[in-house]
Structure 1
Amino acid sequence: MIGCDIIEIERLKKSYIKYGEKFLDKILSTKEKKIFFTKHLNKYSFLAGRFAAKEAVIKCLDKTIISYNKIEILNDKSGKPFIVIDNSVRDDLKLSISHSRDYAMAVCLKI
């Protein structure tokens, strides 16, 4: 299975500005929120990338109902993203996230 998603960064930025931390609570896990607030230089690219990645994971798993904040996208020491669902690392899922000035996109592959 494969899942792919692309989103405009500005769209996520507007949603965050309008709804604030309530919006983040729906999209990001606690660990991801910490990264959003403390470590990432371009917060909106980070947010859009995580959103696209979670959409790609949902599509790859062919799930229609799963909370975004239950899917965690973290990075290993080299920066490579990996997926955690319900506190379990999903080694069977491979993920790639890319950003441009205006868009973030992600592809998830189940192996």
Structure 2
Amino acid sequence: MEVGIDIEELQRIKSAYERFGRKFLDRFLSKKEIEYCLSKKRIIECLGGRFCAKEAVIKIYDGRIGFKDIEIISDGKPVVLVKSKKSNIKLSISHTKNYATAVAILP
């Protein structure tokens, strides 16, 4: 079993988004993920959650994959695609007013 976890301050995500806009999003999200987060009421929390989720998955793979190799889709619960293929990774994403976090487990 492999486990990855990440936590981020949402202010850091907000600052990067305000400074770099779409360029920042394009570095770590797919077009579908961008559309999904920008459709939400709490955009920064969604972006932070996706960022943490991808960092947690990258840790499972010991850094052998990057942000763009991972896509998080929502199907009632988050589903992890790695290099466009559904994975067995279980993912939990959470956030508060100030932080986002994610835990990824590969059984």
Runs of 4+ residues deviating >4 angstroms: none
Matched-pair identity in %:
43
Question: Which residue matches 1:87?
Answer: 84
Aligned residues: 106
TM-score, L = length of structure 2 = 0.93
Unpaired runs of 5+ residues, structure 2, are none
Q: Secondary structure at the match of 1:40?
A: coil
Structure-1 separation of matches of 2:9 and 2:85: 29
Question: Which residue matches 2:99?
Answer: 103
Q: RMSD of aligned C-alpha atoms?
A: 1.0
Answer yes or no: is 1:53 the counterpart of 2:53. yes
Q: How far is the alpha carbon of 1:34 from its aligned partner?
A: 1.2
Q: Secondary structure at the match of 1:13?
A: helix
Question: Which residue matches 1:9?
Answer: 10
* Partners of 2:58 and 2:66 within 8 A in 1: no
Q: Secondary structure at the match of 2:97?
A: coil
